[in-house]
Structure 1
Amino acid sequence: MDIRTLVNITSRAWALPILAGLNDGVPGRQAPLLMATGASRTAFAQSIDHLISTGLLERNPGHGHPLRPEFRLTPQGKVAAELASRIQRLSGDENQDLLRRSWTVPVLATLHRPSRFTEIKLRLLTISDRALSQSLRSMEERLWIRRSVDEAARPPKPIYSTINTGAMISKVSSPVIEMGRTKLSG
């Protein structure tokens, strides 16, 4: 999986919880998934459609029996679901709203080492300055990121590094992104 795929997955608020639920054994039917995620029907439907269009989820052609799942993970979806499950377990229930924001996980995945604002922006080609700034600020408020200032640089430059839950999520997601980059370049 590369960073573009991660950005695409997280562009829908409920995509990660749906993938994590499927990985953790929630039946692939609408009602159990809705209950497990807590999403509204509209947001859930949009996230399911998005996951199907990205090729991570597919409708089960054999569906029709009440015990057969409506949705199932594709091989690529299994990799994404495993990552989503690990991230969900690390974050805790009180931080789910922060995880559902579009840029939280991609920003953390790029922060495997302390970085400046422009370095993060370069790794996430499609992020705007405002979106990155808001994402960093919200994670700093939750103590997932620490902002320090490099006084030796002229002008002084802020450096962002992960801490606490942010560091754990970064540690889990960075190798997956690095592995995907190797596969793409190889």
Structure 2
Amino acid sequence: MDIKLLVKLTSRAWALDILAHLHRGVPGRQATLLAATGAGRTAFGASLQHLMALGLVARNPGHGHPLRPEFILTAEGKAAAAKADAILRAAEVSAAGLLRKSWTVPVLALAARPQRFSGFKAGLGAITDRALSTSLQRLEAQDWVAREIDLSERVPFPVYRAVNAGGEISRVAEAAV
């Protein structure tokens, strides 16, 4: 899975949770997955449609009622689901909500090695300055990213790297990229 797919995958709040639950063997019915994730109906439906559009989840042919279909992982979805499950298992239960934010996992994937702000921008491409700085602030507040000032250059600049649970998530997410 490349960084672009990781960015697309995490752009919906419940996508990682849905993939992880399907990987763990939760039945692919919408009601069962909805109960397992604890998501709201609208956000869950949008995430499920997003996963179908990415080709990671498909309707199980021949199973389920047209209004209550059953969903299965595609071949590409099985690999992505294993990585999603590993990412969620690496996170602390109390902070799993932070992983539902759009840019958290892609930023952590790049923070495995110390990065400057411009390094994140180059690696993530479509991210805005505001979204990146907000994401870095949230991760720093959660103590998943450490901000250090590099004084080796003429003009000092901050360098960010993943630490604690963020470091574990970063290693798993980096392996996914």
**Fold conserved between structures, TM > 0.5:** yes
Aligned mates of 1:91, 1:140 — CA distance in 2:
15
Aligned mates of 1:71, 1:92 — CA distance in 2:
28
TM-score, normalising length from structure 1? 0.91
Question: What 5-or-longer segments of structure 1 have no aligned partner?
Answer: 178-186
1:115 is matched with 115
1:26 is matched with 26
TM-score, normalising length from structure 2? 0.95
- CA 1:25–1:69 in structure 2 vs 1: closer, same or farther (change >3 Å)? farther
1:11 is matched with 11
> Would you say the 8 A contact 1:146–1:162 is kept in 2?
yes
> Would you say the 8 A contact 1:27–1:69 is kept in 2?
no
Paired residues, number: 175
Tell me which amino acid in the other structure corresponds to 1:105: V
Pairing of 1:133-172 with structure 2 (within 5 A): 133-172=133-172
Could you tell me the percent identity over the aligned residues?
55
CA deviations 1:141-176 (Å, max 9, x no partner) are: 000000000112221100001101110011111122
| Aligned partner of residue 114 in structure 1, secondary structure | coil
Task: Determine whether 1:72 maps to 2:72.
Answer: yes
Deviant stretches of 4+, over 4 Å: none
Tell me which amino acid in the other structure corresponds to 1:34: L
Deviation at 1:61, TM superposition (A): 1.3
Deviation at 1:62, TM superposition (A): 1.3
Aligned mates of 2:28, 2:88 — CA distance in 1:
18
Task: Determine whether 1:39 maps to 2:39.
Answer: yes
Q: Note the aligned Cα RMSD (angstroms).
A: 1.3
Tell me which amino acid in the other structure corresponds to 2:40: S
| Aligned partner of residue 64 in structure 1, secondary structure | strand
Whichever structure has more strand as a proportion of its residues is 2
CA deviations 1:98-153 (Å, max 9, x no partner) are: 00000000001112211101011100001001000000000000000000001122
Aligned mates of 1:81, 1:103 — CA distance in 2:
18
Question: What 5-or-longer segments of structure 2 have no aligned partner?
Answer: none
> Would you say the 8 A contact 2:92–2:165 is kept in 1?
no
Aligned mates of 1:156, 1:15 — CA distance in 2:
38
Pairing of 1:42-121 with structure 2 (within 5 A): 42-64=42-64, 70-121=70-121
1:184 is matched with none
